[in-house]
Amino acid sequence: MNEWAGPDGASEGTGISRMLSENVNLLGAVLGTAIRARYGKATLALVEELRLLCKQAEQEGDAVKRDRAADRIAGLDLDTLVALLRAFTAFFHLVNQAEKREIIAVNRQRARAGGAESARPESIGEVVRDLAEAGALLADVEAVFARLDIQPTLTAHPTEARRRTVLEKQQRVAEHLARLRRADATPEEEQSVIDDIDEEVLVLLATDEIRAHRPDVSDEVSQSLHFLAGVIWDTVPRIHADVQRALRRHYGAEPELPPFLRYRSWIGGDRDGNPNVTAAVTRWTFAEHRRAALERHIEEMKALLAELSISERQIPAPAALTASLADDGAAWPLSADDARAFRHEPYRRKVAHMLNALRGLRAAETDGATVVSAGEAGSLSRVPTHKAPPSYDAARFGADLDLLHRCLVETGFGDVARHGRLARARTLARTFGFHIAALDLRQHSGVHERTVAALLAAAGVHDDYVGLDEDARRTLLERELRNPRPLLPAGAALEEEAAELMAAFHVVRAEIAREPEAVGSWIVSMTNAVSDLLEPMLLAKEVGLWSFAHGRVQAALDFVPLFETIDDLEAAAERMGALFTSDLYRMQLAARGGMQEVMLGYSDSNKDGGYWMANRALHIAQDALGRVAREHGVDLRLFHGRGGTVGRGGGRANRAILAMPPSVHNGRIRFTEQGEVISFRYGLPDIARRHLEQIVSAVVRTIAPANASAREGSDGSAGGDASGSHLATAARGQERVDGQRDYGGVKVARTEELLADLARRSMRAYRDLIDDPEFWDWYTRGTPIEQISRLPIASRPVSRGSSARVAFGELRAIPWVFAWTQMRAVVPGWYGTGAGLGGLLDEDPDAAAELQTLYRTWPFFRAVVDNAQLEMARARLVVTERYDRLARAGDAPTDFLTRIADDYRRAADAVLRITGQSGILDNNPVIQRSIVLRNPYTDVLNLVQIELLRRFRATDDETEREELRQAIFLSINGIAAAMQST
């Protein structure tokens, strides 16, 4: 097929690396061939014509050329517009894979330069080296890793517009590029790879981008297991091996470390606003998790079986191993063939018995399944019934692996035990168990409230629980929690909502009886009061998950409040303090090991208060929660509900960890991974490893021994940028808790005053914008929010209310941000920065120097400013202006566009004054260049989308509207790929 002759110069001189330039040029040439084959030469020429017009418009500042592109698009038929969308979308899919390969190549180069990852920035090798050089003892470092409790949590939030089929094709392209760049590849091998890429791209161009139907929960569970049982499963042992290798290199030891990285999931358990997540679906999800874990462990045991060929005729078997084989033979006998083949190989016999036990469990899962009606569980066909807990469980499996480890060490095979397949298998068993990821359940506090009211009424305790004030509710709930009798009389029936919720609690109880670690937490959305947490505790008591007797509480479940709005964030510490002073709740904490998890919502707080107020409220809430937990002797774990975009709490996760207030730096952390974030971070093994090593490295730095001081960062500040250690920053922050009163000379009181003033100004500008009586009409006419609300990308509805007409108050934060991104304004990620920062600089003569100091010395402030300028760089108001035309009656820009543009100008001036940069995002030239190179291509997608929206609104023909709607879906997908929110 296509012959590759090397770079054609299209990307040269742009500042990107030679390898990336070559890959982009290759993929562009391949795509060009595919476009010509699929749509003809005229379409390929049109693609280039539009790209060049938009590129020249940007380079020359010539809006007329962008008008010419728009006019050209306006004259095209729908089939041609769809061909353009598919061509430009495919281009971004391919370029995104090339950029991933570039990330991997850069990190590999850094690793080669530093040796065993020691000098690669933000790596585990680097942080362990820094600890060693700072004088930390091995025991101190062991204690640090023993304290780590890192739990990424997968959710099905609807932010991934691509089908799994498309994701897999893109991943294969990335793998082909890796093969192509092998140093020892022969010309024949290179051409073979290029042929493979040709074929992949040709098929990609003919593959549906948009799902034919909205996915159901089972699709989302399967998607999550694709990553959990795939790249994530294979990456976690690599992270553990990285730690051991670093400890061996810098301390000459390889101590046993507990699992410090575990995964959780909401998918199949997130009931909040999703009527498709039923108790039956949750029961099926637990079974699917278990099946996936057993399948992978069986594969691991097969590999271990091949490795452990040690003969007792060469090395006598330890007595403990011999004894265990006798027990295993009775429980899980070997076939005659296996018994004969492994007669003199005790380790293989042991693994073969373990394999039989695992296979028996897998068979039991299938044999114990029952059919569930389509009405009950959508497309789910089989859900297991629960039998008695099996005799072989995850704990016994782990104990068997530990026995193999001890026996190998005892007989002189310590290196085999520590570095071979057994070490991997032990890590996997400890991390994933037989559940692969603990499943959280989430429900809205209002559903708990109504169900408790129904139970209390059925029991004759109170007829109007909903009408009680907070104090009366707490008194009643605590009294009933202490009362051992159930509320629901035998044979009594509940209304559908309450019955369904109680069924979910019964599912949780059954799963905990079988595999306790399979169940995560019960999360309460919209926690507005203390009673919101006591209500699900009472419901858990009703099914036997919670009890009070003899002055003690028995609890099998953690209850987690979720604080989401600005008001709730501000009240979070006070509410938790009230819980911590409750005698009954103190007993709940004691029953759960003294640990309390608290979840913070990033998306809704931003939608509620705007960018700066949300960030300030979240930071202050974290600090206050850390302090109140410390005051009451509670072990706190914060759960950060972060999205992929900056407007939903996104950005570099490791830097966000380092920017958290010192009061919550305790080694415990959870954070959500959702939508396009999952596919970006876990689509390729090397990207996943990089993501996780950055997370682990950051958390280690926050709890590093106090005597471990840092080297200076690359910018001269302590704990500076990507190449700088944050050990000193963490230590300095800890001192602040104990009395430090300044950041680089700016007093803490003054810092808090500046941040409060900035947030108030910013929120006032934001609320003035969105509370304008005419705003909602402008937003719905100027963005594709109507089509986004119909996009079949998730089982969960886009709105908490009726889907017939989306209203601002009911619109979820995800589509809210998504629509702003489509029109290239990206308002949730920066708007109000002009009014906030700019207003401070204009009116306070001392603010400029102080804010510059805070930017250099305070990680939190630096992260918020840098995230804002990242989103400002991605914004493109010359394109936003064209969406504004969709919503206005005359020729003049609307007042809303004027406000956005004015705030942008003030924000840009303020950011440059504070950072000392010459241009926005000068501090991140790689991303800056990527945005510049993408803009002409993205502009074409925007112009096509605008034309499609105009046609959609101009016709009443339902057939034509449906065809246009499908094309708009394609444009949404293409712009999402181009903007790469992650």
pLDDT at 87 over 90: yes
Residue 708 to residue 730: CA distance in whole angstroms:
10
- H/E stretch holding 872: helix 859-874
Predicted pLDDT of residue 535? 98
pLDDT at 795 over 80: no
Predicted pLDDT of residue 615? 93
The residue among 207, 202, 147, 201 whose CA lies nearest residue 174 is 201
C-alpha dist (Å) from residue 319 to 316, 334, 407, 412, 523: 9, 20, 9, 15, 48
pTM: 0.89
pLDDT at 737 over 70: no
Predicted pLDDT of residue 914? 96
Q: Which amino acid is at 806?
A: V
* Helix extents (H) in 271-420: 279-307, 319-331, 336-341, 346-367, 374-377, 394-410, 414-419
Q: Which of 437-451, 621-635, 665-679 has the lowest mean pLDDT?
A: 665-679
Q: Which of 115-119, 194-198, 297-301, 642-646 has the lowest mean pLDDT?
A: 115-119
Predicted pLDDT of residue 89? 92
Q: Quick one: pLDDT band at residue 162, thresholds 50, 70, 90?
A: low
914-922: long-range pairs with CB below 8 Å, 24+? 914/837, 914/841, 914/848, 914/851, 914/852, 914/855, 914/865, 915/855, 915/865, 915/869, 916/852, 920/869, 920/872, 920/873, 921/869, 921/870, 921/872, 921/873
pLDDT at 167 over 80: no
Residue pLDDT, tens place only, 812-868: 777 888 899 999 999 999 999 999 999 999 998 889 999 999 999 999 999 999 999
pLDDT at 735 over 90: no
Residue 113 to residue 104: CA distance in whole angstroms:
14
pLDDT at 794 over 90: no
CB 835 within 8 A of CB 903: yes
pLDDT at 98 over 90: no
DSSP string, 71-90: HHHHTS-HHHHHHHHHHHHH
Q: Which amino acid is at 480?
A: E
pLDDT at 231 over 90: yes
pLDDT at 803 over 90: no
The label of the residue with tokens 């190998």 reads 408
Torsion of CA 212, 213, 217, 221, to 10 degrees: 10
Q: For the chain, what is the mean pLDDT?
A: 87
The label of the residue with tokens 């030469």 reads 41
Residue pLDDT, tens place only, 885-932: 999 877 888 999 999 999 999 999 999 999 999 999 999 998 899 899
Q: Quick one: pLDDT band at residue 195, thresholds 50, 70, 90?
A: confident
Calculate what percentage of the chain has a pLDDT beyond 70.
87
Residue 247 to residue 145: CA distance in whole angstroms:
11
Predicted pLDDT of residue 196? 87
pLDDT at 381 over 90: no
Residue pLDDT, tens place only, 532-589: 999 999 999 999 999 999 999 999 999 999 998 899 999 999 999 999 999 999 999 9
Predicted pLDDT of residue 821? 92
pLDDT at 519 over 50: yes
Q: Quick one: pLDDT band at residue 14, thresholds 50, 70, 90?
A: low
- How would you write 659-680 as a 3-class SS string? CCCHHHCCCEEEEEEECHHHHH
Predicted pLDDT of residue 728? 35
Q: Does 462 or 718 have the greater pLDDT score?
A: 462
Predicted pLDDT of residue 956? 93
Residue pLDDT, tens place only, 343-375: 999 999 999 999 999 999 999 876 544 433 333
Predicted pLDDT of residue 452? 98
Predicted pLDDT of residue 105? 84
Q: Which of 183-187, 553-557, 585-589, 749-753 has the lowest mean pLDDT?
A: 183-187
CB 159 within 8 A of CB 677: yes
Predicted pLDDT of residue 376? 40
Please compute the mean of the pLDDT values over residues 67-95 and round it to a whole number: 94
Residue pLDDT, tens place only, 564-573: 889 999 999 9
pLDDT at 748 over 90: no
Q: Quick one: pLDDT band at residue 206, thresholds 50, 70, 90?
A: confident
pLDDT at 239 over 70: yes
pLDDT at 4 over 50: no
Q: Which amino acid is at 167?
A: L
pLDDT at 24 over 70: yes
The residue among 521, 516, 540 whose CA lies nearest residue 393 is 516
Residue pLDDT, tens place only, 626-651: 999 999 999 999 999 887 666 666 67
Please compute the mean of the pLDDT values over residues 438-449 and round it to a whole number: 97
Structure tokens belonging to residue 617: 């409220």
Q: Quick one: pLDDT band at residue 706, thresholds 50, 70, 90?
A: low
Q: Which of 218-222, 327-331, 380-384, 850-854 has the lowest mean pLDDT?
A: 380-384
Residue 66 to residue 56: CA distance in whole angstroms:
8
Q: Does 404 or 28 have the greater pLDDT score?
A: 404
Please compute the mean of the pLDDT values over residues 300-316 and round it to a whole number: 95
Residue 456 to residue 542: CA distance in whole angstroms:
11
Please compute the mean of the pLDDT values over residues 721-735 and round it to a whole number: 34
Q: Which of 197-201, 238-242, 552-556 has the lowest mean pLDDT?
A: 197-201
Q: Which of 36-45, 285-294, 674-683 has the lowest mean pLDDT?
A: 674-683
Q: Using CB atoms within 10 Å of the CB of residue 56, give its burial: 0 to 12 exposed, 13 to 18 middle, 19+ buried.
A: middle
Please compute the mean of the pLDDT values over residues 168-188 and round it to a whole number: 82
Catalytic residues: 157, 607
